[in-house]
Structure 1
Amino acid sequence: DPGDAAHQEAKQREAEMRNTVLAQVLDQSARARLSNLALVKPEKTKAVENYLIQMARYGQLNGKVSEQGLIEILEKVSQQTEKKTTVKFNRRKVMDSDEDDDY
């Protein structure tokens, strides 16, 4: 299907563009840390990459981001996307409950 091929090619071009921008704004140790994070938390990595690309577009980055700078950005993104995990117990009443034994 030609539409699929074009879509795949566009996706590949976007990935190459992202990698090029990230290579320009991150130093070697920061890139290594980001690729390690991608293995564990791909969605967080995507958010950090988007943040870095956006900062690069608006000229907010002075030189390459070091590993320490990346850690600070990771913490910032974590605080923004932090989700509160809650566990809710839903106790169901059933006819065969042990609590309601009538002796």
Structure 2
Amino acid sequence: MSFDDRELEEIRKKKLMELQKRMEEERKAEELRKKQQLVKETILKSILTSEARARLANVKLVRPELAEQVENYLIALAQAGRIARPLTDAEVKEILARLAGETRREGRINIKERGW
């Protein structure tokens, strides 16, 4: 083996090791994400009725960012001990409406204020 061949072989080995390391990190990150999702689902299952969970799942199909916002809000309430019983569909509907209204207001541009 010539000097160039050995150099090339070393570069190949190094690249292969980097690729394997990156793949392992991605696998670990995916595993962590799945565990976090499982914990999230477990908490939501304990603080929402089945109808409320179904509503949230339907919202997630149409407005995933809103559903995520509501889920995080509910989990924070649960972790703070502010949810004593499972929330009903009507209660989740209220929370969705309130948070959806806040989201809409933030994105609105008032033309009169701009002078257009």
TM-score by length of 2: 0.70
Listed one character per residue, the Cα deviations across residues 24-47 of structure 1 (whole Å, up to 9, x for unaligned) are 000010001010111100010000
Matched, 1:11 2:33: yes
- How many aligned residue pairs are there? 87
Larger Rg: 2
Quote the Cα distance in structure 1 between the aligned partners of 2:34 and 2:110: 38
Q: Which has the higher helix share?
A: 2
2:78 to 25, 40, 56: 56
Quote the Cα distance in structure 2 between the aligned partners of 1:85 and 1:31: 33
> Percent sequence identity over matched residues?
30
SS in 1 for 2:73: helix
1:73 to 74, 95, 112: 95
TM-score by length of 1: 0.79
Structure 2: stretches of 5+ with no match in the other structure: 1-22, 112-116
User: Over aligned residue pairs, what C-alpha RMSD do you find?
Assistant: 1.5
- State the 4+ residue runs in structure 1 displaced beyond 6 angstroms: none
Structure 1: stretches of 5+ with no match in the other structure: 88-103
